[in-house]
Amino acid sequence: MTVHAMTDSSRIVHRRRDDTLRLLIVPVAFLVVWELVGRSMADQTILPRASVVAQALVSSMLSGEVWPHLAVSLRRVATGYGLAVLIGIPLGMLIGAYRLADHLIDPLLQVLRPIPGLALMPLLLVIVGLGDKMIVSIVVYAAVFPIIVNTAAAVRSVDRIYSDVSRTFGVGGLALLREVVLPASMPGIFVGLRTGLTFAWMSIIGAELIGTLRGIGYLITYYQKLFIVDKVVVCMVLIGVIGFALDRILRAIADRVLVWQRGIVTEAR
Amino acid sequence: MRVLRGLILPALLLLAWEFLLAPSDDMIPPPSTLAAVMFRFYGSEEFLTSLAASVLRVAAGYALGVGLGVALGTAIGLSRNASQLLEPLTSMLRPIAPIAWTPLAIIWFGLSERATIFLIAYAVMFPILTNTIAGVQGVARAYIDAARTLGAVRWSIIREVIVPAALPAILTGLRVGLGLSWAVIVAAELIIGYTLQLGLGYILVRYSQVVFNVPRVIAVILALGALGFLTDLALRFFERRLVPWKLATQLR
């Protein structure tokens, strides 16, 4: 019995090691191919080799030239995303919970939603002027729609039984929304929060490509105009890493908040 | 009744704009004069050629992205080897916002059509890839076993069982990708359009930074919204035709 258990577990360990090896093959191969292609190219500036980018990454992190720009971008995203959450969740709940609100607001949302946030930039230029306000507005606009739509859908699909039971116990109105509907629709709301954060991070890069002298989006165009291609790629790597990290942080928060849901899912399996 | 209610809020906003906002701000024209200017502009050659240019760029990039996304997604969804080989690569690239590729696209392809098409294809590919993988992996084992029992070979199983069963998920990816492609074409044309001298994004730059014309800027913004809305509507129409069973199981 114990022997069995041991061989089983060692087999699992082996398989895990095989899997991690296989998972590593491609990124390593990718880096090697990138390096070789880079070396074989006649024009070394167009595709900086992996090793050159790695050096540039280290040097720009050590020299500190990227940190202030990253900090500015993150602050703008935090402000814009925070506002989008504050607007999006209550509005989404309103639309999801009350048919009248749905009928009043939904058509307007459907008209505005397909307009890309970046397209508003020229108009915002006129209304709020150049600078942080314009960029933050674009972030709010980009992030708020997925939050509203997912919150509304989640609230709409809350099981009727929950509200019936609550009413039986004399809970209604705002208390019902806060104590029953909000927790019950949390999984759906988090889907919207994640999409919204992805859109916020994406839109900040676009918004900063024009109209500011600070931020990671500005930095990447600055390097492009000076044709410092390795640093362009460094910025892309940082944008990717931060985008990934932001999503992971939100997922970790979701896992914390939705502990009860995980219980249900594993039981169902 | 429902339609009437939906008109209340937009009507109030337009009234507030006409009587409160516009008189106090000479930069922003009231909706009444705006409408006249807009419709004249929509008929102009300048608008129509730019519209055609943007639509063609989106169409080319979208087609490329859809082709790549569906092909790669099916491969990853079907084969464990393909998924272990390609998944790490796609998860490395996925978090890099498509717009962040703009500078590199300019360095690689110059300020050209190819750069815009590359950017759109790249942006479109990922949601389609993700949804195709999920769709293909979610195909019920029983369907495949049943097809095999009936004597189907590998290719016909893929074509006649797996792809149709994964179609609802693929179509979701197609819709997300389409929305993204309009956002990306605007970003690309805001930056590259100046050299190309054509495209809705270029008109935006021109009338907000070179020649000042707010009505035309608003006209283009609304046109972009309408394009996004109408193309999504078209996809939803196809969705209803291609996978009628999907909507039958949804409440709304």
Provide the residue-wise pLDDT of chain A in tens; the chain has 269 residues. Answer: 444 444 555 555 556 666 677 677 777 888 888 888 888 877 777 788 888 889 999 998 889 889 999 999 999 999 999 999 999 999 999 999 888 999 899 888 888 888 988 899 888 888 888 889 999 999 999 999 999 999 999 998 887 788 788 888 887 778 888 888 888 888 889 999 999 999 999 999 889 987 788 999 999 999 998 989 999 999 999 999 999 999 999 989 988 888 776 555 444 33
Lowest mean pLDDT among B14-23, B74-83, B120-129: B14-23
Q: Is the pLDDT of residue B87 over 50?
A: yes
For residue A265, what pLDDT is reported?
Answer: 47
- As a residue count, chain A comes to 269
**Mean pLDDT along residues B215-222:** 91
Q: What is the ipTM of this complex?
A: 0.82
Using a CB-CB cut-off of 8 Å, the residues of chain B touching A125 are: 208-209
Q: Between chains, do B97 and A243 touch, taking CB under 8 Å as contact?
A: yes
Using a CB-CB cut-off of 8 Å, the residues of chain A touching B7 are: 107
Q: Is the pLDDT of residue B44 over 90?
A: yes
Place of tokens 């090691």: A17
Distances (CA, A) of B82 to B87, B154, B193: 8, 16, 38
- Entry pTM: 0.84
Selected residue with higher pLDDT from B149 and B252: B149
* Sign of the CA dihedral running B158, B160, B162, B167: positive
Average confidence score pLDDT of chain B? 86
Scan residues 81-100 of A and list those with Cβ closer than 8 Å to B.
100
Rounded to the nearest 5 percent, the helix, strand and coil shares of chain A are 85, 0, 15
Q: Which of A118, A137, A141, A160 is the best mutation test for B, with the most CBs of B within 10 A?
A: A118
Q: Give dist(CA B183, CA B123) in Å, integer.
A: 10
Task: Indicate the Cα dihedral angle B49, A211, A86, A148, nearest 10°.
Answer: 20
Question: Which residue among A157, A205, A229 places its CB closest to the CB of B100?
Answer: A205
DSSP sequence for chain B: -HHHHHHHHHHHHHHHIIIIIHHH-TTS--HHHHHHHHHHHHTSHHHHHHHHHHHHHHHHHHHHHHHHHHHHHHHHHH-HHHHHHHHHHHHHHTTS-GGGGHHHHHHHH-SSHHHHHHHHHHHHHHHHHHHHHHHHHTS-HHHHHHHHHTT--HHHHIIIIIHHHHHHHHHHHHHHHHHHHHHHHHHHHHHTHHHHT-SHHHHHHIIIIIS--HHHHHHHHHHHHHHHHHHHHHHHHHHHHH-HHHHHT---
Q: Give dist(CA B70, CA B93) in Å, integer.
A: 17
For residue A196, what pLDDT is reported?
Answer: 94
For residue B31, what pLDDT is reported?
Answer: 86
For residue A47, what pLDDT is reported?
Answer: 82
Using a CB-CB cut-off of 8 Å, the residues of chain A touching B191 are: 209-210, 221
For residue A10, what pLDDT is reported?
Answer: 55
For residue A262, what pLDDT is reported?
Answer: 59
pLDDT digits (tens, 9 = 90+) for B160-198: 888 888 888 899 899 999 989 998 999 889 888 767 788
For residue A18, what pLDDT is reported?
Answer: 67
